[in-house]
Homo-oligomer: A and B are copies of this chain.
Amino acid sequence: MPFNSFGRRFQITTFGESHGPAIGVVIDGCPAKLAITKEEIDKELDKRRPGKSPYTSPREEKDTVEILSGVFEGETTGAPIALLIQNQGVDSSPYEKIKDLYRPGHANFTYLHKYGIFDYRGGGRSSARETAARVAAGAIAKKLLKTWNISCRAYVAEIGGIQVKKLDFTRKSPIFCFDKIAEKKILKLLKKIKEEGDSIGGIIACTATLPVGLGDPVYGKLEALLASAMLSIPASKGFEIGEGFQGAALKGSEHHSSLEVATRKAGGTLGGISTGYPLFFRVAFKPTSSIKIPQETLTIGKEKKVLTLPPNAKHDPCVAIRAVPIVEAMAALVFVDTFLLHQEAKLIDRGVLPFLPHT
């Protein structure tokens, strides 16, 4: 029920608006005695702020986290972990001017109809700013996964139709594109898009090495949890696992000629449960909604109007690129959640008294 919570056994609850005093997250259900530092979390937050490429986002958001609770002498205690990120240097004045306009592709239309009130400054609650809290929580999830030898990795698969073909994770990329040739093309495209004041969509892929057994039938299928996680990211419009939409054109004799082929083409799960084979899924993102090209729209009073963003307004030409660490964080949250719940599945079969004696 809680609208701002995600997860079943390992649950996060995020709060905060883009231009309010702060955003944050409460993590509930984290096992005790995990070593974690503020620096480890800040490092993940840095990934949301590429900086190195002038074509992604010019925003000055050097986010840093305060650990308010749940960590004692460098270790988690089992108590809820509250992380706070202050909103620094926000300037709400550009939003004042357009606050009575419905912005194409934005949430102010629906929020106003649903709630009768909208914190329009920087997109308020519907801003992608909220995802910083997810990335902070994801840092803790990823640290847990590391102790369990589980790894996951998100990366750019396609931007504006340019496909990533050869993956080389040893090279560094400011735009999370691990194919040298594709990266060059994409950077060129981003430059052009930015100059035009336009934006472009993209597809993010994610792989993970999981033990067998994560995910739960029937409604807790690993892919159902992942799909829900991914479609909760702003601007995401699609999710597919394994062959996904391409697989819909295949024959059974192609898609599952053998156990191995079938498992690979399924993306690493069978019956919604991880197989031990690599997991693979993709997420589609629409182009950024805010563009500097005039858009036809309506005022709240239903007058026709043309929306033109002021020249000094911030502008991120490709939201998909910034989504890479968010996809990774959300995937990590799902893996920790399913991992913790998996522990009891064969409790009886293990034939051991599973609780710790109180001696």
Given A31-B345, A116-B349, A248-B284, output 19 extra A-B contacts at Cβ < 8 Å: A2-B5, A4-B80, A9-B344, A21-B66, A31-B346, A69-B125, A72-B119, A77-B111, A110-B213, A114-B213, A144-B348, A160-B248, A161-B249, A212-B358, A223-B237, A237-B244, A252-B289, A339-B355, A340-B347
- A180 close to chain B: CB less than 8 A: no
- A312 close to chain B: CB less than 8 A: no
4 A-B pairs with the lowest CB-CB distances in the bound complex, closest first: A107-B271, A212-B358, A238-B240, A199-B252
B residues in contact with A14, CB < 8 Å: 80, 218
Given contacts A3-B218, A353-B149, contact A248 B203 (CB under 8 A): yes
Task: Check B70–A276 contact: CB distance below 8 A.
Answer: no
Task: Check B253–A198 contact: CB distance below 8 A.
Answer: yes
A-B contact pairs, 22 of them (CB 8 A): A4-B218, A20-B68, A68-B84, A77-B125, A79-B119, A110-B270, A110-B271, A113-B213, A114-B345, A115-B345, A116-B346, A125-B217, A144-B348, A148-B355, A158-B248, A201-B249, A221-B232, A225-B228, A238-B247, A240-B284, A247-B286, A252-B288
- Find the B residue at minimum CB distance from A19: B72
Residue among A76, A248, A291 having the largest count of chain B Cβ atoms under 10 Å: A248
- Chain A count of residues within 8 A CB distance of the other chain: 166
Mask: chain A, 204-229; 1 = CB below 8 Å from B; 0 = not:
00000001110111111101111111
- A271 CA / B234 CA spacing, docked (Å): 7
| Interface 9-residue window, one of A39-47, A171-179, A295-303 | A295-303
B residues in contact with A158, CB < 8 Å: 248-249
B residues in contact with A347, CB < 8 Å: 31, 340, 343
- A243 CA / B213 CA spacing, docked (Å): 34
- A38 CA / B253 CA spacing, docked (Å): 40
- A242 close to chain B: CB less than 8 A: yes
Residue among A14, A110, A124, A244 having the largest count of chain B Cβ atoms under 10 Å: A110
- A75 CA / B240 CA spacing, docked (Å): 36
- A100 CA / B90 CA spacing, docked (Å): 47
Residue among A160, A200, A357 having the largest count of chain B Cβ atoms under 10 Å: A200
Q: Which of B110, B202, B243 contacts A286 (CB 8 A)?
A: B243
- A201 CA / B253 CA spacing, docked (Å): 11
- A313 close to chain B: CB less than 8 A: no
- A9 CA / B23 CA spacing, docked (Å): 22
- A125 CA / B80 CA spacing, docked (Å): 9
- A255 close to chain B: CB less than 8 A: yes
Task: Check A231–B223 contact: CB distance below 8 A.
Answer: yes
Task: Check B238–A78 contact: CB distance below 8 A.
Answer: no
- A325 close to chain B: CB less than 8 A: no
B residues in contact with A50, CB < 8 Å: none
B residues in contact with A227, CB < 8 Å: 224, 227-228, 230-231, 239
Given contacts A8-B1, A203-B245, contact A69 B346 (CB under 8 A): no
B residues in contact with A79, CB < 8 Å: 4, 15, 17, 119, 124-125, 217
